[in-house]
Amino acid sequence: MTETLPIAPWRLFAAEVRAVRRLSPSFLRVTFTGPDLDRFADNGYDQRIKLALPLSGESTVDLPGGPDWYARWRALPERRRNPVRTYTVRAVRPHLGEVDVDLVLHGDGGPASRWARRARPGDEVAILGPDAGYGGDHGGVEFRPPSTGRLLLAGDETAVPAICAILERLPADARGRVLLEVPEPGDVLPVTAPAGVTVHWSARGGAAHGSRLVPAVTAAAGELLAGSAPARGGSIADVDVDRDILWEVPAPTAPVPLYAWLAGEAGVIRTLRRHLVAERGLDRRAVALMGYWRLGRADSA
């Protein structure tokens, strides 16, 4: 008698590029297809996945299999270790076996950027993503607001795909503010949002990362929290973003006046964390913070 193995929350999907579409100077949308992508769970919001890319000079991806694939991948010699990078799902169409991922183009500084600039239909990848056959919580979704209160979503270009996906799944009665900092004016993308949620884009135009986002979040927090009594215990321990990962994703269990979801460059997000929690007195349990990347550091898995 053959033993049936339990379905795991995540699995490796073999996939290839079906289409590549340049959305703006900084954004590229890649549509993937594959024989099993009809089983890719459509969880929406900021669902994280990992893309495994071919090694330089190769056209296929050969990752270790099994539940311990990551440890086995890490143990490989660097020259045989396929680049693996974390992204957010932009859209899933299970009936077509398609998954969209929006990538930010940062030049040719890393393997992911080099691959993205040269991606063509037929290019093979592997996707570690949620298996629709699993009946529980897959994990990888950090947007967990309470059922009441207003929203503040903010981030740089690396957070744009996640925020746009979140906006499309919000209930019609959602209220709040969305603030997005992008490199160029041409990077402003069309996005659907509930009537009670305003979306504001700011272009850096060569200025420092966070130079538009930090004052925008500061001003918005002052307006959204006007008249609200600050929570107790607003002091926080600082985070060394050069050594530690800034990733705090609590789920509020009680109503809060404002739920904040902030993602992007870790140094900028740390500044916003300090302002909202230590200076504004916003309850830490109502602030989700994700340092997606660190200025001066190469991207990694």
> What values do phi and psi take at 168, rounded to 5?
-70, -15
- Cβ neighbours for 165, distance < 8 A, ≥ 6 positions apart: 44, 45, 46, 47, 88, 89, 90, 91
**What is the per-residue pLDDT for 169?**
95
Helix (H, G, I), strand (E, B) or coil at 222: helix
Query: For residues 199 and 160, what is the distance between their CA atoms, to the nearest angstrom?
Result: 11
The reported pLDDT for the residue numbered 227 is: 65
The reported pTM is 0.91
- Cα radius of gyration rounded to whole Å, the chain: 20
Termini Cα distance of the chain: 39
Q: Residue 192: what pLDDT?
A: 93
Task: Tell me whether residue 35 is exposed, middle or buried, using C-beta atoms within 10 angstroms of its C-beta: 0 to 12, 13 to 18, 19 or more.
Answer: exposed
Residue 51 β-bridge partners: 85, 127
DSSP state of 230: P
Instruction: Assign 86 to helix, strand or coil.
Output: strand
Gap between the Cα atoms of 93 and 114, Å rounded = 27
Residues 6+ apart with CB under 8 A from 64: 72, 73, 76
> What domains can be seen in the chain, in order of their start residue?
10-130 (2.40.30.10), 150-293 (3.40.50.80)
- Nearest of 29, 31, 34 to residue 11 by alpha carbon: 34
For residues 129-139, one letter each, b for 16 or more C-beta atoms within 10 angstroms of the residue's C-beta and e for the rest, the string is bbbbebeeebe
Q: What is the pLDDT along the chain (301 residues), one digit of tens a residue?
A: 455 568 889 999 999 999 999 999 999 999 999 999 999 999 999 999 999 998 887 778 888 777 788 888 888 888 888 899 999 999 999 999 999 999 999 766 678 888 898 999 999 999 999 999 999 999 999 999 987 789 999 999 999 999 999 999 999 999 999 999 999 999 999 999 999 999 999 999 999 999 999 999 999 999 998 766 555 544 555 655 455 678 899 877 788 889 999 999 999 999 999 999 999 989 888 999 999 998 866 655 5
Contact 133, 8 (CB under 8 A): no
Given a contact cutoff of 8 angstroms between Cβ atoms, the answer to whether 157 and 81 are in contact is no
CA angle 225, 248, 46 (to 5 degrees): 85
Which residue type, as a one-letter code, is found at position 61?
V
